């Protein structure tokens, strides 16, 4: 018999929290889980899922245009933003229901409330002011978009949270940021017919990605008609005529747009969570500091997912939750494996990537072989669309291991998943060479690049 109300109490009903609670409850543990907003968390309610649905919506106008090259005549088309928002809402509500049902079926107690720590084993449920105790507490509260309080007029701007549910589709939008969320939304809004500008302080979008992917995508976005302003930032936003926004940039440009969206990173949801009271340590970004087993400095308190500032992705939060359960409830210590995470940018075209960029690999290995192909995808031959697919393998010449694989092109995210399996298994370039191609596909290029395009020795391209 435990002296606590719960064996496990989870704060936050997102990707990591729900998985922790469901697995522990399924093992017969007494579990409580508190969510202050909607079960499913960022991913289901205002992240990956609605984002991908909007990506699909935004691709249709190119499909309609491309159809002509294949003999189709497409009649007059019209886009209804409100219909898309309603359809999205119905789908995320369905998913939210599934999350609740999964918890319920496993036997977890679902609590619709904010929860805060009041001590190492005690949590306060703010909806009822009730105190509950637990042997173990998992903090999986995620993060929220950086509000950029220093920017005059920041309150006139939206973030990704609001972008999904705007009352009207704006005619024009300025998006500030160069990370994957900014880039994806720029492509979504452009695809839906919005005059879109992206402003980013760096030299080129997507700073942590392979150079070829960054350059290729930026060029493709510009060619589509998205205006990309680099090496500049917004310094002031003011309310203009007719509810529009007048934006001033550091370089002195003035833009008048319907909406300004800030996509400048995310902040962990650790404010007013009672961390100081419980003695839980955070870092300079406000993220909870954990060890390899998601343990905080306070025994019995764990943290996982975005709030820990490791890798902010849904599968990572879920994996960390599974490792936590394995370690704490199954007596099998497992630390999350965050090496070689395959990931995608759902831009148009997409980026799919796993492993090291050429720049990172050049710092790590003395002798690299780079295999690179740039070609027009088959569909574009008849559609007439001017676009390029880029595929790239980075190989450590020393042991022939493929240390990075990068694709810019349609369905690159789908391809990255399978490349992830291969790289995780330690695939060599010779394995690629002896693999038969699937013809005709874009991916066959990956197994038919027999000669290196160039080598990088001691950091220098030769
Ligand atoms: C626009 C956007 C697009 C994204 N796209 C992708 C993608 O394509 N692929 C991908 O892998 N990842 C994507 N992500 C990231 C992904 O959504 C997160 O990495 C993931 O949701 C993190 O899960 P989590 O469990 O740590 O936190 P979350 O899912 O954020 O869940 C935390 C939950 O805790 C709740 N909460 C907070 N404080 C409290 C409290 N005190 N009491 C009770 N409840 C509380 C919140 O309401 C929230 O529901 C995207 C994120 C955004 C914003």
Ligand 1 atom closest to residue 48's alpha carbon, by position in its atom list: 5
167 is annotated as contributing to ligand binding: no
Ligand 1 atom closest to residue 14's alpha carbon, by position in its atom list: 31
- Residue 37's pLDDT is 98
- Residue 309's pLDDT is 84
Specify the pTM. Answer: 0.97
178 is annotated as contributing to ligand binding: yes
Residue nearest atom 52 in ligand 1 by C-alpha distance: 47
- The CATH architecture assigned to 154-264 reads 3-Layer(bba) Sandwich (3.50)
User: Given a cut of 70, is residue 1 above it in pLDDT?
Assistant: no
Can you list the alpha helix ranges (DSSP code H) found in 6-148?
A: 15-26, 41-46, 48-67, 81-106
State the distance from the centre of ligand 1 to the C-alpha of 201, rounded, in angstroms: 26
Positions annotated as catalytic residues are: 439
Pocket of ligand 1 (CB under 6 A): 11-17, 34-37, 41-43, 47-48, 51, 114-116, 140-142, 160, 181, 269, 273, 305-307, 312-315, 317
Q: Predicted confidence band at 321 (pLDDT cuts at 50, 70, 90)?
A: very high
**Pick among 3.40.710.10, 3.30.390.30, 3.30.1740.10, 3.10.150.10: CATH of 343-461:** 3.30.390.30
Mean pLDDT of the chain: 97
User: Given a cut of 80, is residue 353 above it in pLDDT?
Assistant: yes
User: Given a cut of 90, is residue 110 above it in pLDDT?
Assistant: yes
CATH (residue range 6-145+267-329): 3.50.50.60
Fold matches, 6-145+267-329 and 154-264: yes
Residue nearest atom 31 in ligand 1 by C-alpha distance: 14
Written as six digits, the tokens of 52 are 């991908």
- Residue 250's pLDDT is 98
Q: Where are the domains of the chain?
A: 6-145+267-329, 154-264, 343-461
pLDDT in tens, 257-281: 999 999 999 999 999 999 999 999 9
Residue nearest atom 45 in ligand 1 by C-alpha distance: 12
């Amino acid at each position: 018999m435990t002296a606590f109300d719960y064996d496990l109490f989870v704060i936050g009903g997102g990707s990591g929290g729900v998985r922790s609670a469901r697995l522990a409850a399924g093992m017969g543990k007494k579990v409580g889980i508190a969510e202050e907003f909607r079960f499913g968390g960022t991913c289901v309610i205002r992240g990956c899922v609605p984002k991908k649905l909007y990506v699909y919506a935004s691709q249709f106008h190119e499909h309609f245009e491309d159809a002509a090259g294949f003999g189709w005549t497409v009649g007059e088309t019209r886009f209804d933003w409100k219909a898309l928002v309603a359809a999205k809402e119905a789908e995320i509500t369905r998913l939210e229901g599934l999350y609740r049902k999964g918890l319920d079926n496993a036997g977890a107690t679902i609590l619709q409330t904010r929860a805060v720590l009041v001590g190492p084993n005690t949590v306060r449920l703010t909806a009822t002011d009730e105190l509950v105790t637990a042997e173990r507490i998992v903090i999986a509260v995620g993060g929220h978009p950086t509000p950029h309080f220093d920017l005059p007029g920041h309150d006139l701007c939206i973030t990704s949270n609001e972008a999904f549910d705007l009352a009207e589709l704006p005619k024009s939008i300025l998006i500030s940021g160069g990370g994957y969320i900014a880039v994806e939304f720029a492509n979504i809004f452009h695809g839906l017919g919005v005059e879109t500008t992206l402003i980013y302080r760096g030299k080129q979008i997507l700073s942590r990605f392979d150079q070829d992917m960054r350059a290729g995508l930026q060029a493709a976005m510009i060619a589509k008609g998205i205006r990309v302003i680099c090496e500049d930032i917004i310094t002031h936003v003011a309310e203009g005529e007719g509810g529009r926004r007048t934006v001033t940039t550091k370089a002195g440009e003035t833009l008048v747009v319907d909406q300004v969206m800030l996509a400048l990173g995310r902040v962990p949801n650790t404010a007013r969570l009672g961390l100081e009271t419980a003695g839980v340590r955070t870092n300079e970004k406000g993220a909870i500091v954990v060890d390899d087993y998601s343990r905080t400095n306070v025994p019995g308190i764990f943290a996982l997912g975005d709030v820990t500032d490791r890798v902010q992705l849904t599968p990572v939060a879920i994996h960390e939750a599974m490792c936590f359960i394995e370690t704490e409830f199954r007596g099998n210590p497992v630390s999350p494996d965050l090496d070689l995470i395959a990931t995608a940018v759902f831009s148009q075209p997409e980026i799919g990537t796993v492993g090291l960029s050429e720049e990172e690999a050049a710092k790590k290995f003395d002798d690299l072989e780079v295999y690179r192909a740039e070609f027009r995808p088959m569909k574009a031959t008849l559609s007439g669309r001017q676009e390029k697919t880029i595929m790239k393998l980075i190989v450590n010449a020393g042991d022939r291991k493929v240390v990075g694989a990068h694709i810019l092109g349609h369905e690159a995210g789908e391809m990255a998943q399978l490349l992830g399996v291969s790289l995780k298994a330690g695939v060599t370039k010779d394995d690629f060479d002896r693999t038969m191609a699937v013809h005709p596909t874009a991916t066959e290029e990956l197994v038919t690049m027999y000669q290196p395009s160039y080598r990088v020795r001691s950091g220098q391209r030769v």
